Chains A and B, each alone.
Chain A
C-alpha cells in the first residue's frame, strides 16, 4: 500500500462512497425503475376497520378506459396467505393462534387500509379512477380498535376462529422465585405505562414491480425491501409456489426501512402474480396516505411492572405483565417482538436475580404491528428505565446511585441473566461515568436555577440501557420459534488485478454499507476502498442472505465477509508459497502483502490474484484457479451494545411545550469501523427516540378510524425539535465475533426515550408527578401543571 495514502481501514471516518449517488439525485429506487410495457396497479383499500363484504361489483370499473384487469380474492384462490415467520407457544405449550392473512380480503375487512381489490391499468391515474368505481357492499361491524376493546367480554371477533382475540399468552422466567422475593422485599414499586404506537414513515414509500419473462419462466420482483432473499423465500415458497431459480428479487436503493421493509407485503405478491397472468410488468407505488394505513406499525404495548428491592436498594425481583397489539393480522416477525426481543431484555444492565414476565398478544382492527427500529428492546428499556426512576423517587435513593448499585459488575462477564440471554461483555460503569461527565450532570442544579429565573422548568434524565442485536444464532432462534436461520453470507471476489467485489446478503437502506464494508476489506486485504465494490440487494447476484435489521449487518454480515477473507488469505498463502518457493507455514500476510517470514521476499495481493487467474506458474494440481471465496457466518450469540443516554429538557409552563436542550449519548457498540457513520446512526436513532418521547402518536378512534393518518396529524421529529446530540463511544469488544463489533443501528432509538421522559418528569418534580405517558405533548404537560383535562 502507498504509504502516503490516507488510512481507510477500521477506525477511519472516511466519507460515504454512496453519497455522491444519493446527493446528486442518481440513486435508483424501485419507483425509478420502469420496465417496457409496464402497467400500473392501484389497490382499493377498506375505509372501514371491520366489515363483512357482501359483494363486490366490478362492472363499472372494468369498463373504465385503460383497465387491463381487476382482481379480488376470488381470483387468488390458488395462492396462499402471507406467512408468519415466527411461531410462539402459549404457557400451556400449545401454538399461538395464526389466522390466515389473505393477500386480498376474503369475506371480511379487518382494518382501515386492508386491501380489497387491485386494479391494473395503463396509467396510475386510470388505475385509481377505476378503483374508485368499484362498488363494495360492506356490512359494517363493530370494531375492536384498542386492546382494551378487543379483550372486553363480548368484544367483536377480529378473526372468527380466534377466541377472545388472543394470539398467544406466553411467559418467561421463574414465577415462584419472583413471588418469594416479593414476599421478603423491603420496597415494592409498581409502574404502569403504555408504549405509544408509532408509524415508521421511511422517506421512500413502499413500491414493487413484478416482471415476467415467458421465454425463461423467470419472475422478477423489484421491491423496497430490507431482505430480498427472505422475500424470495417467503413469497416463493408460501404464497406463489415458485421455485427459487424462477424467482429473482431485487431490492435496489431503498430510502429507509426502520423495520417496516423487512416484511413480506401483499402488494409484492400481487404484482408478481399479476405480471405472470398478464405477461406485462406491473408497478405499484404507495403514496404517503397508503403508507400510513398499510406499512406495519411499531410498539403499542400496555404494561404493568413491579420491582422488589431490599432495604439497601438492591433489586430482588421484577414482575412484568404486558399486552402487545398485533393489529389485524400477524406481520412477518410480529410474534417475536414482544417476546424474545422484549421480555428477554428485562434484566437490562442490572443483576436482578429473579424475573418473571407474561405477555398477551392481542388482535385488533388496526394495521399489523411489527418490528420498528429497536423492536421490543425500546419497549423493555423504556419500561425498565422509567421503573428505576420511579423506584428512586419512591424509595429516596439517588437515581444514579441506585443504578450503579445494581449494575452487573465489570468482572462478571459472561453474565447469565434470569431471562435466557448471556451477555458477553460490557462496562456500564464506564459509559455512565463518561456520560455524567460529558453532560455536566454535577452542575445541573445551577442550570435548573438559571432556567427557573427565565420562567422555565428544566429537568435532566438518565437511562442506562442494554440491547441484544446482531441477530442471531440460528439454532437458538429456531428453538424459540423462528422459521428461518439468521446467519449471513459474504462473498469476496478478488479480480485478476487485485480489485475486489464484495457480495453481501446484508442490505443497505441508509446505513452506509458500501463504505463500512469496503473499509473491512481495506483493513484486512489492503485494497483501497475505491477499488472495493459492495454488491447487495439482488438474489441473482448475491448467493444468499438474511438481510438487514436488528443491527446485524456488521456483526453477522461483516463477520461472514471476514471469514471469506480468511479463506482468500489461506488460498493466497498457498499461491504465494508456490511463487516464492517457500512452505505455506512460512508465509505471513498483512494488509495486502504476502511475505516469507524472516526474508525480504514478498508478493502483493494483486500479483497473487493475477497468478490465480493466469495460472501459468501455479500449483494447479492441488489448487483451483481463481480467487473468490464465500462464507456463511452463523453467530454464536447475540451482541450486547449498551451505554448511557442523558437528556436535558426545558418546559414552558404557560403552554406545556417541552424542548430538548441537550442530549448526551455514550454507547458501547463494540469496535467502531467508521466513527462518522456510527455518530450518524446514533443521532438518527436518537431523533426517532425523541420523536417517540415527545411527538409521535398513532391514534385510532373508537371505531378504528386512523386519526393520525397523514403528516398533518402525525408529528414526525424535525431538525428544530432536536438539540445538539453529542455522541461518544466507550468500547468493550464483542468476544464471539471475529470483528469484536456489536452494532449501532438501534441504540439511539432504544436508549433515548426513557432518558427524555425521565428528564420531563424531573422538570415537573415540584408538581408531584410520578409519571407522564409518551408522547409528552404540550396539552398533556399543561394539564399537569394546571390540573386540567388535556
Chain B
C-alpha cells in the first residue's frame, strides 16, 4: 500500500496487515494468546482511527498504533504480573510428527524467541520491526517517534544483545 494511495478500508487493513500485526505481537510477547488479544486490540484501534487518518505515511501510522497498543499491554501486565513461558510452535509439535530437521529448526526458533524476550523492550521492538516486519529505519522512526539515528543504534545494539543472549543457548 503506497503512502500516496487513498485511505484504506478497515477490511483492507485486516486482510493486508492482520497476519503481520499478529506476528509482530507474537514475537514481542512470545505467547499466542497475548498476540491474538493484542492484534485484535490493534485492529479495533485502527477501525476507530481510520476516520481521522489522512493519507501520509500509512506504515508509520499503523505501526505507531501497534506498538502503542503493545506498550499499553505491557503496562497493564506489570500491574498484575504473570509468569508465562514462550509457547513456540507447540501446535506444530502436537499436530505433525515432524522429521528430525523440522524439530531442530523448531528448537532453534524457540531459542531465538527466548533470547528475544530477554531484550529490553526498546531493543526488542526495534529488531522485530526491522527483521521480522521488514520496516525501513524511517518507518520505524515514525512508529516509535524517535530520530532515525536512535533507531539505527537500537537495531545495532539489539542485534548484538541478541547474539550475546544466544551464545549461552545455541
Are A and B bound to each other? no
